[in-house]
Amino acid sequence: MDVLFWQLVRLLIHSGYRIAQMSERGDEIWLESGHWRRPTIVRLVRADFDWSRSLRLDIEYTWQFVRQMNGRKIGKGGHVVNVYVMAYPPVDDWEFLVDEPLPLSEPADGAFHTLLIHSSNTAEMLPRLADMTGATIRPEPLTEGADPFATAERLKYEVLTEWHREQEEERRIFEYGKPLFTRLLIVVQVVMFLILEWSGGSTDPSVLIRYGAKFNPLIEMGEWWRFLTPMFLHIGFLHLLTNTFALYYLGITVERLYGSLRFLLIYTTAGFFGTLASFLFTPSISAGASGAIFGLFGALLYFGTVYRHLFFRTMGMNVVSLIVVNLLFGLLVPGIDNAGHIGGLVGGFLAAGAVHLPKRAAWGRQMKALVVAALLAAAGLWLGFR
């Protein structure tokens, strides 16, 4: 049964599951599926319970634990499969404990299933496990004369090696680049703020226009550089402070994911698209890095299209929530250039698609993103200057 336990772990991994947690002794392993729309969590336990009371207590504890999980959404249609691998079942009645699944939430979005696999019912239980997990469950029988203890240790070593390799790959994804340009951009916008204050005040419209704020009449007269310069100017200290903090936290994350040169291209492209959208839909003077910062949100969304499960397992819901909250805030509070925010979000997403992620070239997707970005920019400029 030790061999079967580790075979099940390996087969689930080969079917798209990943190890989320493992006990020190390796007798309890939690795995999660790569299907984010219909998430499945599998708990595999190698244990032998003499009495059904011990089994019942473990099931109830695990069920309550899953219901109180933070940050791991089962979602509609998802479920947890709690699997016990035993040499023999409890000596008293236990079947009633696993007959019906337990609900996970109200209304019943998911279910908590329990399977008990022992040496006498594997032929019946393994197809049920395959059906619940969507995995291919066909354990290889032990060859004649094989040492089961050595085989179990070999399987365990292979599983742990694969797990550590995946963890290292994920760590490298989040640590590809160093946040060089993030810090440089922060210095530039702080220096520009001090220059504005020294020149008469960062809230003075004439000072803002002189140093490159978005001002539609001057852009229409040919000062195209104003599509880029507004991202380095800020109107008042609070504006500078909020955008600096946002740039620091988002910029470090995006620059580590994409690398410095890709990050700079994403940031400036998003800033251009943000100013272009503001030019089209907002006649008032505007300045600030908000459009470029929303472009960093767009770059994180694009990361989610490439590493979907990793995105939603780590930062996904936080990123989506922040985007929604900020856009709603921009709609409800007067004086906020929401057009620039949306333009920056779209521009950052398309720029991220054009440069793609390091070491993962996808020329078809990159060309599509580049063509769409070029068409949108051309259409926006044509509408603005016609």
Q: What is the DSSP string of 282-300?
A: --S-B--SHHHHHHHHHHH
| Residue 108 DSSP SS3 | coil
Task: Give residue 290's identity as a one-letter amino acid code.
Answer: S
How many Å apart are CA 105 and CA 109, to the nearest integer? 6
Which pLDDT does position 285 carry in this prediction? Answer: 92
Please list the pLDDT of the chain residue by residue as tens digits (386 residues).
899 999 999 999 888 888 888 988 888 999 988 665 556 889 999 999 888 999 999 999 998 888 776 445 555 556 889 999 998 989 898 888 888 888 876 544 678 899 999 988 888 889 988 888 888 888 888 877 778 889 888 989 998 998 888 888 888 888 888 999 999 999 999 999 999 999 999 999 999 999 999 999 999 998 999 999 999 999 999 999 999 999 999 999 999 999 999 999 999 999 999 999 999 998 889 999 999 999 999 999 999 998 887 888 788 888 988 899 888 888 877 778 889 999 999 999 999 999 999 887 788 899 999 999 999 999 999 998 88
- Radius of gyration of the CA atoms of the chain, in A: 28
* Residues in Cβ contact with 360 at an 8 Å cutoff, skipping those fewer than 6 apart: 306
Contact 45, 26 (CB under 8 A): no
Residues in the chain: 386
Which pLDDT does position 67 carry in this prediction? Answer: 79
* Residues in Cβ contact with 315 at an 8 Å cutoff, skipping those fewer than 6 apart: 253, 300
Which pLDDT does position 107 carry in this prediction? Answer: 46
Task: Give residue 162's identity as a one-letter amino acid code.
Answer: E
Tokens of 83: 């699997």
Which pLDDT does position 270 carry in this prediction? Answer: 96
- Look-up of token digits 């580590």: 256
How many Å apart are CA 284 and CA 208, to the nearest integer? 12
| Residue 116 DSSP SS3 | strand
Which pLDDT does position 336 carry in this prediction? Answer: 81
How many Å apart are CA 278 and CA 272, to the nearest integer? 10
* Residues assigned a catalytic role: 290, 341
Which pLDDT does position 76 carry in this prediction? Answer: 54
Q: Provide the CB-side half-sphere exposure for 254 (13 A, CA).
A: 34
The 10s digit of each residue's pLDDT in 294-323 is 999 999 999 999 888 788 878 888 898 889
The 10s digit of each residue's pLDDT in 226-257 is 999 999 999 999 999 999 999 999 999 999 99
